[in-house]
Every structure is written in C-alpha cells, then in structure tokens.
C-alpha cells in the first residue's frame, strides 16, 4: 500500500511478506517479492519501500539474500524474536 499525506512528509510504500517453510514455495515467494519491489521502485522511484513480516530466516541470511537484489534494502533491528 502506498501512503501519503497527513503526518507523512513523503509518500511511503508499505508491504507485508511471509516466507513459507517449504523450500520450493519459499523460493517462488521470494522471487515474486523481488519482482514486486523492482516494479514498485520503477513506479515510485523516490518513495521508501518498507517490507514487514516473517522471513523465517536469520538476519545474516536475510541480509545476504537482499544484497543480491538490484534495489538496495536495509534490515532494521526488530524487537522480539530475531528470526522474524
């Protein structure tokens, strides 16, 4: 969803994601997410994109995976279980 107005000074794109456990399904889910992020980046090049959800992987693995994407992404520290 793209939100703007009110207290937001700039439009922001918010997404949710759940990476399922079965490897084949998880791979397809990540490919679909990567494509969606790339598409949104082309459509809204200046908007921050925030993806929240359950990635079912450790932070180091997630950072390594996101480093391969053409759209720069940063993992922020979470509160609670670090594997989410």
- Read off the pLDDT of residues 6-63 as tens digits, 9 standing for 90 and up: 888 899 999 999 998 888 888 899 999 999 999 999 999 999 999 998 888 888 999 9
| Distances, alpha carbon 44 to alpha carbons 23, 35, 40, in Å | 31, 14, 6
* pTM for this entry: 0.81
| Upper half-sphere CA count for residue 36 (Cβ side, 13 Å) | 15
Of 15, 27, 13, the closest CA to residue 53 belongs to 15
| Upper half-sphere CA count for residue 4 (Cβ side, 13 Å) | 10
Q: Residue 37, exposed/middle/buried by CB under 10 A (0-12, 13-18, 19+)?
A: buried
The band of 83, judged by pLDDT with boundaries at 50, 70 and 90, is low
The band of 82, judged by pLDDT with boundaries at 50, 70 and 90, is low
């Amino acid at each position: 969803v793209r939100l703007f107005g009110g207290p937001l000074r700039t439009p922001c794109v918010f997404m949710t994601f759940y990476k399922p456990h079965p490897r084949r399904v998880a791979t397809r889910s990540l490919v679909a997410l990567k494509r969606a992020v790339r598409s949104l980046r082309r459509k809204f090049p200046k908007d921050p994109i925030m993806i929240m959800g359950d990635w079912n992987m450790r932070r180091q693995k997630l950072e390594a995976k996101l480093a391969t994407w053409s759209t720069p992404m940063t993992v922020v520290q979470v509160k609670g279980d670090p594997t989410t």
